[in-house]
Amino acid sequence: MGDRKRDRRRWRRRHRGIDDFRSLLVNFIRRRENSIAWPDSSVITRHFHPEEIPFDFKRAYSFLKIRPASDKFDLLHEMVARLRAQFQSAFAPCYRYAVYQVVEAPPASFRVLLDNGGSFVGSGIYRLLSGSRYAAVFILTVGDQIDAALAKLALEDFTEAYFLDGVAAAMTHGLLQLLKRDLQTEANKRHCHLAQRFSPGYAHWDLPEQEKIFSLLKGEEIGIILSETFFMTPQKSLSGVFGFKSKTAP
């Protein structure tokens, strides 16, 4: 009887040692994986001629608070059309994006891990990407020449500068639509659909996370500069993330 008890104790000690070793090995592998510098996904950059950008007059009216029922609508429409034509050459539309696989999204930390070793943190971006298979990170701009044109025009005619700002906002929106078209194609290749857009500074995703997007995409290479307070120059620039969700997902 005593021999059996001794054998059981020896067996338990031996297997506890095996379990401890297995645990150490698993933790070591996890730390090793986390330290790997994963290769970046291909970064895609596209430049456009201003005439290639779809211009939505209704979007411009919305930015400018113009009501089609206004008795001055025809006059205001003519001003928008004239300024668009006059300053078209000041626009230099460009965007850059990369698609990364979402490898983990532990709920306790609101941290989303990407396959290149990068991560985003925040409850808002977590809600978007925790149900996504991929994350498409992007930056876009219509260039800095329009900023200079706006500043100069504001000194000469503030009203026209205000309307030109609406034109620039509509051009930025048009560029975003082209980006979404390309990203939908990327999503289709992966048997996914394009989910909503999310940007730093909105809905519980802190603005300093902007720095991670610029680290991934090197915005300065296409003329977008991030300030110390995480705002972008030129003014008519956007950045953010789109989720790619499985077509079977809601």
Q: 110-161 pLDDT, tens per residue? A: 888 899 888 999 988 888 888 899 999 999 999 999 999 999 999 999 999 9
Is 105 a residue whose pLDDT tops 80? no
pLDDT band for position 237 (50/70/90)? very high
Is 239 a residue whose pLDDT tops 80? yes
So where are the chain's domains? 43-246
Q: 20-55 pLDDT, tens per residue? A: 444 444 344 333 433 333 344 589 999 999 999 999
| Domain 43-246 grouped into CATH 3.40.50.970 | no
The pTM (predicted TM-score) of the whole model is: 0.80
CA distances in angstroms from 213 to 14, 18, 100, 199, listed in the order given? 49, 43, 12, 10
Cβ-Cβ contacts under 8 Å for 198 (sequence gap 6 or more): 124, 125, 128, 205, 240, 241, 242, 243
pLDDT band for position 75 (50/70/90)? very high
Is 244 a residue whose pLDDT tops 60? yes
pLDDT at 8: 58
Q: Which residue has the higher pLDDT, 250 or 207?
A: 207
Peptide bond into 208 cis (omega under 30): no
Is 68 a residue whose pLDDT tops 90? no
